[in-house]
Structure 1
Amino acid sequence: MKIGLFFGSFNPIHVGHLIIANTMATSTDLQQVWFIVSPQNPFKKNNSLLHEFDRHTMVERAIADNHRLKVSDIEFSLPKPSYTIDTLTVLADKFPEHEFVLIMGEDNLVQFENWKNFEKILEFYKIYVYPRPNTAPHNYENHESVKFVEAPLLDISATYIRKRLQEQKNIKYLVTDTVEAYIELKKFYI
């Protein structure tokens, strides 16, 4: 099975994430997209990061009605911070029957050469890239491992959602109803 891996903090997961994942699952040769909830991103220092189990639960709730989307806690048992190459290696060893593809926003290509062992990622994995607003130039337009996928250009951020919650403003339509209910129940981000 060909599976796209969508890494992120998902703090919280929002409709932008869901639209991208569903687009990748239904408009490419991927059979499934797995959300890889990252306990700690090496490039982000975020003191408003919820516990990984809460973020995993929110992803589960958000995708419950879509059999093409799954959530993984694979990084919870790996050393922190999480590095994509290490997770890819563990997944390839654990699921040799699957072919894994990395899903990435175009904005990440700009700093991709700062990633641990980025050359190995390019050598052994395909990368499906979705457009992001205001992306700086990068060197991957014609790289054989990089495929650009037409997808909606979305500029919704978890930071914006957390700010709205801190200001006690409505987040309807930015997250699913199930995620909104969970955030309200747990009183997250206030």
Structure 2
Amino acid sequence: MKVGLYFGTFNPIHVGHLVIANHMAEYSDLDKIWMVITPHNPFKKKSSLLDNHHRYQMVQRALEEYPKIDVSTIEFNLPQPNYTVNTLTYLQEKYPDYQFCLIMGEDNLKSFHKWKNYEVILQNHEIYVYPRISEGTIETQFDNHAKIHKVAAPIMEISSTAIRNGIKEKKNVRPLLPAEVFEYLDEMHFYKS
């Protein structure tokens, strides 16, 4: 089975995440998509990050109608700080019959050469890239690479940060969130202060 790993803090998960994940599930050769909730991105401030449990609840609720997409908490139990290469190694050992691939935005591909052991990742895993509007250029070594597949997914410019700020400013962000996620956030009073 070919599994696409879509990493994110999902703080909160929004319709942009679902559009990308569903597009990968329906329009690529991936059999399953696992939305891997990252406990803490070393490049982001942790202050506004909801507890792992709450982000898991939101992702799980958002995916109820998507049988090809699952939530994964695999990184919750790995030593921190964690790197993608470590997660991939762990998953390959735990599920030797699965072929794990990375799903990333074009913006991440532009900085991929800075990732820890990116050569090892590329040697052992395929990468599925969706378009993003971003500055900078992709390293020439990644142009026409056999293991890097560009997928013509819709360009989604919705950000979790903008959603959190909108909630704090009492804006109506309901159209940007799956209904179950909006209800959960509203019920728990998250991001309001």
* TM surpasses 0.5: yes
2:159 is the alignment partner of 1:161: no
* Residue matched to 1:6: 6
* Residue matched to 1:172: 174
Q: Aligned to 2:175, what secondary structure does the other structure show?
A: coil
Q: Aligned to 2:176, what secondary structure does the other structure show?
A: coil
- Partners of 1:157 and 1:168 in 2: CA distance: 17
* Residue matched to 1:62: 62
* Residue matched to 1:75: 75
Off by >2 Å, runs of 4+ in structure 1: none
* Residue matched to 2:185: 183
* Residue matched to 2:16: 16
Scaled by the length of structure 1, the TM-score of the pair is 0.97
2:105 is the alignment partner of 1:105: yes
* Residue matched to 1:119: 119
Q: Which runs of 5+ in 1 are unaligned?
A: none
1:22 maps to amino acid: N
2:188 maps to amino acid: K
- Partners of 2:62 and 2:145 in 1: CA distance: 33
2:31 is the alignment partner of 1:31: yes
1:147 maps to amino acid: H
Kindly state the Cα deviation for residue 66 of structure 1 after the two structures are TM-superposed. 0.9
Number of residue-to-residue matches in the alignment: 190
RMSD of the alignment, in Å?
A: 0.9
- Partners of 1:166 and 1:80 in 2: CA distance: 30
Q: Which runs of 5+ in 2 are unaligned?
A: none
* Residue matched to 1:86: 86
Q: Aligned to 1:173, what secondary structure does the other structure show?
A: helix
2:147 is the alignment partner of 1:151: no
2:59 maps to amino acid: V
